[in-house]
Amino acid sequence: ETGVTQSPTHLIKTRGQQVTLRCSSQSGHNTVSWYQQALGQGPQFIFQYYREEENGRGNFPPRFSGLQFPNYSSELNVNALELDDSALYLCASSLRRHNEQFFGPGTRLTVL
Amino acid sequence: TQLLEQSPQFLSIQEGENLTVYCNSSSVFSSLQWYRQEPGEGPVLLVTVVTGGEVKKLKRLTFQFGDARKDSSLHITAAQPGDTGLYLCAGVGNTDKLIFGTGTRLQVFP
């Protein structure tokens, strides 16, 4: 059984650029959630995808968008990057909404 | 806005000591989860508590959900260096989103 994987591990971008982060969910899981974790803080919910449709969104602007594919993998896209977007982006997969969530190792995004 | 406040924010103790981490809110949660996160990794689920007043034990870790389902605690007995990490509580809120607490960073010295 393969766990949740994320790519890339680290990423450095400049303000105004766009970024795409990728997540492969654990085998058999149909729900993917994305979180932003600033240094020293708890993760903040960005949005969740269930069976390829957005199923809940946190307090993040529309420049944060996502996709889920038929194989349940997912992408997080962020447009017009700002310095405050620098954070660890975590992906978590689960069988159902808010059931036990399995987290990937995260993507560390640095915006200069 | 539902918030989960954890205390203390930082905890530095010697091996063998006991400790308690608190997770408090003014809101009711249908369930509450505890995670541990180590540097460079994602959070790992330790336990889920669902019923008010519920107590769950995981080896040296004891988790309790408050009677009113607004708060929870994590007690570690005889802490070990391997317990070092960021402890996070997370609750399913009224908007059906998972809300994470502010986190407690634990350092256990040998």
Mean pLDDT per 10-residue interval, chain A, length 112 residues: 89 97 92 92 92 90 96 95 97 79 94 96
What are the structure tokens assigned to B56, written together?
Answer: 């769950």
Q: Which residues of A touch B92 (CB under 8 A)?
A: 98
The reported pLDDT for the residue numbered A47 is 93
- Which helix (H) or strand (E) segment holds residue B104: the answer is strand B104-109
pLDDT at B25 over 70: yes
Nearest CA in chain B to A58: B97
The reported pLDDT for the residue numbered B43 is 94
The whole-angstrom separation of Cα B58 and Cα A39 is: 28
The whole-angstrom distance between B17's CA and the closest CA on chain A is: 24
Contacts of B85 (CB under 8 A, 6+ apart): B36, B37, B38, B105, B106
The whole-angstrom distance between A60's CA and the closest CA on chain B is: 13
The reported pLDDT for the residue numbered B82 is 95
The reported pLDDT for the residue numbered A98 is 55
pLDDT at B6 over 80: yes
Q: Which of B87, B98, B104 to mutate to test the interface with A (most CBs of A within 10 A)?
A: B98
For residues A74 and A22, the answer to whether their CB atoms sit within 8 Å is yes
The whole-angstrom distance between B40's CA and the closest CA on chain A is: 7
- Whole-number mean pLDDT of chain B? 93
The reported pLDDT for the residue numbered A95 is 82
pLDDT at B79 over 90: yes
For residues B99 and B2, the answer to whether their CB atoms sit within 8 Å is yes
**B contact residues 18-57, partner A, Cβ 8 Å cutoff:** 31, 33, 35, 40-45, 48
The model's confidence at residue B59, banded by pLDDT at 50, 70 and 90, is very high
Q: Do A40 and B105 touch (CB under 8 A)?
A: yes
